[in-house]
C-alpha cells in the first residue's frame, strides 16, 4: 500500500505508527463549541472543554489530518521560551511580563510531563534539559545578559556555563559557553498530537478530519462553512496558528514564517563518541536566526533553523527549501567535524506564526466573545500551545481565571502592514538579522 501523502510532511509523521483518520463532516451540525485546527492548541482546548463541562457538544475540525501543521513537524522541544527572547519580551512588555511569561512557560513544560504521566501518552518523552550555546562573542554577551535577567527575576535554575563545561557535555569546536536550563523535554511531536487526539475522542470530542473551514461568520451564533455542511456553534475557537491568515477576523495579527529541518541517518556509537552528548540535551544557539538540534530516539541528528522563509497570502505549503537545506547540512559538518561524511535522509519544513511584536496572543477576536483565537508561537509552541488550551477553555466558558488574566490574553496586537509594504519590510527585518549573525560570527 502506498504511504498516506501526509506522511511526507515530516520524519515524525512517517514513523509515528499506524493512524486511523476520523471521517470528514458530511452534514450540518449544531454544537456548543467548534474548534478549528487539529494541532496542539485546538486539541488541548477541545480536551479541556470536555473535561470541564462533559455535557458540552464540542466539534474539532481539521482541514487535513491531526498534526498536519507545525504540531506534526516540529523539532519536539517542550521548552520554556516565550516569544523570541526574554529581552524582546522585556523591551515590548516590561520586566513584570517577562516574569509572568517565564512562570507560565515553566508551568507549560511541567504540564506536558503531567499529560504524559497522567494519561500514559506514548510520545517518546525524554526530559533532557536545554543547552543554548554561544558560537560568537556577540552571541555570548547576549546569552549572558539573558541569564542575568532570568536570575534577577528569580529564575535561578537558568545558569551560565563556560566553554570547557559545555564542551564536556557536547563537544563542538564552535562552542564558547552556554545558557543551561533543566526544564525542557523532547518528544516525537506527531505521536504527541495523535495521542492528544486519543484523549479528545475518549473525552467525547467529535473530531472531523479532511474538513477545511472555508469561512467563519459571526451572527447570533457562529456559522463555520465547510464543503459539505455548516457547523453552527455558540462559540468558535480559531486554533489555526500560522494558517490564521485565511480568516479576516485575525488575518493581520500574524504572518506565516517557514522554518526547515534536515535529519541524518542514525549515528553509530563511533560517530557519537567524539561528540559525547550523553545527556541527549536539546540544543539551540544564541543567534538571531537560531539553529535548534537534538538526537532522535534512534540517534539521528535533527538540525533545524538557521534561516527562515516567509510567504504572504497563498504561500503556505512551501515545505522544502534547497538553499536552507544545504546550509543546514553544512552547519552539521561545521558544528561536528567528525560527521563530515554523514548521510542525510530527510528534509522538511513547516509554518510558524509570527506577530509583528514577536509574542504570542490569545483572546476574543475584535472583542467578539463568540470568536476566540490563539496564534503567535514564534517557533516555540509545543508546551505553549498545549498550555494555551486552558486559556482557550476559560475564554470559551467566559470564566475569568488566573489564565485569562495573563498579560498576553486579549492584548493589543500590532497589525502587520499589507502589500506593497509587507514584503520589503519582512525582507529588511530578516536581512538585518542575517547581517548581525554574519558580522558577529566573523
Ligand atoms: C519545523 C518546525 C520546528 C519547530 N520546532 C519547535 C520546537 O522544537 N519546540 C517548540 O516549542 N516549537 C516548535 N515549533 C513550533 C510549534 O510546532 C508550534 O508552535 C505548535 O505546533 C503550534 O501548534 P498549533 O496547534 O497552534 O498550530 P498547528 O500545529 O499549526 O495547527 C494548526 C492546524 O490548523 C489546521 N487548519 C488551518 N486552517 C484550517 C482551516 N481553514 N480549517 C480546518 N483546519 C485548519 C492546520 O492544518 C493545522 O493542523 C516548530 C515549528 C516548525 C514548523
Mutate to test the pocket of ligand 1, among 112, 379, 383 (most ligand atoms within 8 A of CB): 379
Residues of the chain above pLDDT 70, percent: 98
Atom of ligand 1 nearest to the CA of 246: 41
pLDDT for 353-365, tens place per residue?
999 999 999 999 9
- What's the whole-number mean pLDDT along residues 435-440? 90
**Which of 69, 249, 263, 378 has most ligand 1 atoms within 8 Å of CB, for mutation?**
69
Residue 104 counted as domain residue: yes
Check pLDDT > 60 for residue 314.
Answer: no
39 lines ligand 1 (CB under 6 A): yes
How would residue 318 be classed by pLDDT, with cut points 50, 70 and 90? confident
pLDDT for the residue 311:
72
The answer as to whether 225 is a domain residue is yes
**What CATH number does residue 249 fall under?**
3.50.50.60
Cα(237)–Cα(134) distance, integer angstroms: 39
Given this model, what pLDDT does residue 33 score? 98
The pLDDT, as a whole number, for residue 3 is 72
According to DSSP, residue 241 is labeled G
Q: Residue 170 pairs with which residues in a beta bridge?
A: 276
- pLDDT for residue 1 is more than 90: no
Question: Which domain does 239 fall in, by range?
Answer: 22-126+183-254+355-411
d(C-alpha 384, C-alpha 74), whole Å: 13
Q: Whose CA is nearest to atom 2 of ligand 1?
A: 74
26, part of any domain: yes
Residues 250, 218 contacting (CB under 8 angstroms): no
Q: Give a yes or no: residue 1 inside a domain.
A: no
pLDDT at 48 over 60: yes
Q: How confident is the model at residue 312 (pLDDT cuts 50, 70, 90)?
A: low
Question: Is 83 near ligand 1, meaning CB less than 6 Å away?
Answer: no
pLDDT digits (tens, 9 = 90+) for 374-383: 999 999 999 9
Mean pLDDT of 283-306: 96
Q: Is residue 302 part of a domain?
A: no
Q: Is the pLDDT of residue 115 over 90?
A: yes
Helices (H) and strands (E) in the chain, counts: 11, 19
Please determine, for residue 126, whether its predicted confidence score (pLDDT) is greater than 80.
yes
Per residue in 319-349, pLDDT tens? 999 999 999 999 999 999 999 999 999 999 9
Q: Tell me how far the alpha carbon of residue 435 lies from the centroid of ligand 1, in angstroms.
A: 28
Cell of 32: 456548543
User: With bands split at pLDDT 50, 70 and 90, how would you rate the model's confidence at 419?
Assistant: confident
pLDDT score of 199: 98
Each residue's pLDDT tens digit, 244-265: 999 999 999 999 999 999 999 9
In a domain, 280, yes or no: no
Residue 244 Cβ contacting ligand 1 at under 6 Å: no
**Ligand 1 pocket member 388 (CB < 6 A):** no
Instruction: Say if 330 falls within a structural domain.
Output: no
List, as one string, the DSSP characters of 156-199.
TT-EEEEHHHHHHHB--TT--EEEEES--EE--HHHHHHHHHHH
User: What nine digits make up the cell of 48?
Assistant: 479541556
What is the model's pTM?
A: 0.97
pLDDT digits (tens, 9 = 90+) for 188-216: 999 999 999 999 999 999 999 999 999 99
- The domain total for the chain is 1
Q: Give residue-wise pLDDT tens across range 137-189.
A: 999 999 999 999 999 999 999 999 999 999 999 999 999 999 999 999 999 99
Looking at residue 315, its pLDDT comes to 61
In the structure, what pLDDT confidence band is assigned to residue 313 with cuts at 50, 70 and 90? low
CA–CA distance, 294 with 261 (Å, rounded to integer): 11
For residue 222, tell me if it sits in a domain.
yes
Amino acid at each position: 500500500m502506498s504511504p498516506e501523502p501526509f506522511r511526507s510532511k515530516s520524519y515524525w509523521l512517517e514513523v509515528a505508527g499506524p493512524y486511523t483518520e476520523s471521517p470528514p463532516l458530511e452534514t450540518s451540525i449544531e454544537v456548543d463549541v467548534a474548534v478549528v485546527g487539529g494541532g496542539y492548541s485546538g486539541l488541548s482546548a477541545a480536551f479541556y472543554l470536555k473535561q470541564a463541562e462533559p455535557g458540552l457538544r464540542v466539534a474539532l475540525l481539521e482541514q487535513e489530518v491531526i498534526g498536519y501543521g507545525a504540531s506534526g513537524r516540529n523539532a519536539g522541544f517542550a521548552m520554556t521560551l516565550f516569544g523570541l527572547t526574554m529581552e524582546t519580551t522585556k523591551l515590548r512588555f516590561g520586566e513584570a511580563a517577562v516574569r509572568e511569561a517565564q512562570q507560565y512557560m515553566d508551568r507549560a513544560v511541567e504540564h506536558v510531563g503531567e499529560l504524559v504521566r497522567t494519561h500514559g501518552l506514548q510520545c517518546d518523552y525524554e526530559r533532557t534539559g536545554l543547552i543554548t550555546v554561544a558560537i560568537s562573542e556577540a552571541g555570548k554577551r547576549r546569552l549572558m545578559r539573558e541569564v542575568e535577567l532570568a536570575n534577577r527575576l528569580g529564575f535561578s535554575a537558568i545558569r551560565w556555563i563556560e566553554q570547557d563545561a559545555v564542551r564536556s557535555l557536547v563537544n563542538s569546536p564552535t562552542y564558547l559557553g552556554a545558557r543551561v536550563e533543566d526544564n525542557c523535554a523532547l518528544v516525537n511531536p506527531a505521536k504527541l498530537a495523535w495521542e492528544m487526539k486519543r484523549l479528545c475522542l475518549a473525552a467525547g470530542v467529535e473530531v472531523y478530519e479532511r474538513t477545511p473551514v472555508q469561512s467563519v461568520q459571526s451572527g447570533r451564533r457562529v456559522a463555520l462553512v465547510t464543503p459539505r455542511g455548516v457547523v453552527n456553534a455558540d462559540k468558535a475557537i480559531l486554533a489555526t496558528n500560522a494558517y490564521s491568515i485565511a480568516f479576516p477576523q485575525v488575518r493581520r495579527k500574524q504572518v506565516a514564517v517557514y522554518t526547515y529541518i534536515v535529519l541524518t541517518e542514525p549515528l553509530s556509537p563511533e560517530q557519537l563518541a567524539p561528540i559525547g552528548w550523553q545527556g541527549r540535551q536539546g540544543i539551540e544557539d544564541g543567534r538571531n536566526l537560531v539553529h535548534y538540534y537534538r538526537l532522535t530516539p534512534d540517534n539521528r541528528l535533527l538540525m533545524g533553523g538557521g534561516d527562515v522563509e516567509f510567504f504572504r497570502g497563498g504561500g503556505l505549503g512551501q515545505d522544502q527549501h534547497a538553499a536552507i537545506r544545504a546550509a543546514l547540512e553544512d552547519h552539521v559538518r561545521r558544528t561536528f567535524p567528525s560527521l563530515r561524511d554523514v548521510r542525510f535522509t530527510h528534509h522538511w519544513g513547516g509554518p510558524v506564526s509570527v506577530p509583528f511584536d514577536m509574542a504570542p496572543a490569545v483572546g476574543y477576536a475584535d472583542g467578539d466573545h463568540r470568536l476566540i483565537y490563539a496564534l503567535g508561537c514564534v517557533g516555540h509552541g509545543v508546551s505553549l500551545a498545549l498550555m494555551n488550551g486552558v486559556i482557550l477553555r476559560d475564554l470559551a466558558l467566559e470564566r475569568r481565571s488566573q489564565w485569562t488574566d495573563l498579560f498576553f490574553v486579549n492584548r493589543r496586537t500590532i497589525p502587520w502592514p499589507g502589500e506593497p509594504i509587507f514584503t520589503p519590510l519582512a525582507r529588511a527585518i530578516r536581512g538585518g538579522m542575517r547581517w548581525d549573525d554574519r558580522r558577529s560570527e566573523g
